[in-house]
């Protein structure tokens, strides 16, 4: 799906996997795609997937 990079404002192809970390092909920054309700958003990536749990 096409979304806009929040850092360089370029249109990019984002994966349709909630929480997936990927690189912007333009600015090379790590981004993360999120599904919020029925909409998709892209944000600067956290260090790991939001659903990874470190309570081991």
Q: Is residue 50 part of a domain?
A: no
Answer yes or no: is 37 within a domain: yes
This prediction's pTM: 0.74
| pLDDT tens track for 3-12 | 999 999 999 9
Asked, for residue 18, whether it belongs to a domain, the answer is yes
What are 48's two structure tokens? 């790991």
> What pLDDT, on a 0 to 100 scale, did the predictor assign at position 17?
92
Mean residue pLDDT of the chain comes to 86
Range of the domain at 38: 2-44
pLDDT digits (tens, 9 = 90+) for 25-35: 999 999 999 99
Over range 24-51, report the average pLDDT.
Answer: 87
Establish if 55 belongs to a structural domain.
no
| Half-sphere exposure of residue 44: CA atoms within 13 angstroms, side-chain side | 6
Q: Please count the structural domains in the chain.
A: 1
Please check whether residue 39 lies inside any domain of the structure: yes
CA dist., res. 9 & res. 38, Å (int): 22
Q: Is residue 36 part of a domain?
A: yes
Answer whether residue 56 is part of any domain: no
CB count within 10 Å of CB 13 equals 10
């Amino acid at each position: 799906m096409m979304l806009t990079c929040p850092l360089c404002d370029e249109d990019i192809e984002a994966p349709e996997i909630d929480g997936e970390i990927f690189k912007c092909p333009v600015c090379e920054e790590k981004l993360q795609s999120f599904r919020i309700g029925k909409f998709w958003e892209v944000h600067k990536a956290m260090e790991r997937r939001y659903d990874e749990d470190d309570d081991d």
